[in-house]
Amino acid sequence: DAKTTQPPSMDCAEGRAANLPCNHSTISGNEYVYWYRQIHSQGPQYIIHGLKNNETNEMASLIITEDRKSSTLILPHATLRDTAVYYCIVRVVGSSNTGKLIFGQGTTLQVKP
Amino acid sequence: EAGVAQSPRYKIIEKRQSVAFWCNPISGHATLYWYQQILGQGPKLLIQFQNNGVVDDSQLPKDRFSAERLKGVDSTLKIQPAKLEDSAVYLCASSLPRGLGGELFFGEGSRLTVL
């Protein structure tokens, strides 16, 4: 079972920042937070992942709370092409026991003009 | 860089018939996954290969589903006989070896409709 909770849907105005929340209150010390998104009729696409520090790449920023029980994915300037289902996943990462990527229901983000 | 290739993109069959899906992962990716995505749900892992060995097939309905990865490269997923509830998109993904915790790269999927 997925170990994260996300709102089923969100709207965002084009050009504005999209802030997608995720709760993972039972996260373990060796579990990372991953974000993927799935645009209609395509396979999921990796966005970003982190352990406890905030992370930023060319696609998004990931803010993880100090207690690691929740996180927020930030798309700084949402475009219509960012309309997709966003999945927050916790996953063990280790040299010998990297865990499965288990998807939940995700958040459907609708970016509106 | 070429992505994960899957075929066919679409397949319609009648229940009790058989079907096979093919996946060619990204070159050099030792780990290969098959996921099933039913409409409105997130993808569900069916089987994971490391090279040509099975790492996890706990969610694979083995009475009707089978998968193989000959020579540690291409993979096929077969369903025989198909049921109505097998209607779904079958996604193949690949990644570098599991220890690196790297991202999974997904193909566009094969959409199966069972009538």
Q: What is the pLDDT of residue A79?
A: 97
Greater pLDDT, A91 or B114: B114
Answer whether B42 sits within 8 Å of A95, measured CB to CB.
no
- Is A97 a residue whose pLDDT tops 90? no
- Is A95 a residue whose pLDDT tops 60? no
Which of A5-14, A33-42, B8-17, B47-56 bottoms out in mean pLDDT, i.e. has the lowest?
B47-56
Taking Cα atoms as reference points, which of B18, B23, B70 lies closest to residue B46? B23
Contact, A56 vs A72, CB < 8 A?
A: no
Q: What is the pLDDT of residue A8?
A: 96
Considering only CB atoms, which chain A residues are within 8 Å of B105? 46
* Closest residue of chain B to A46, computed from CA coordinates: B103
- Is A75 a residue whose pLDDT tops 90? yes
Query: Which regions of chain B does DSSP assign to beta strands (E)?
Result: 5-7, 10-13, 19-24, 31-37, 44-50, 53-56, 65-68, 75-79, 88-95, 105-106, 110-114
Query: Do you find a cis peptide bond into A76, omega within 30 degrees of 0?
Result: no
- pLDDT classification of B101: cutoffs 50, 70, 90: low
Biggest distance spanned by C-alpha atoms of chain B: 42
- Is A27 a residue whose pLDDT tops 80? yes
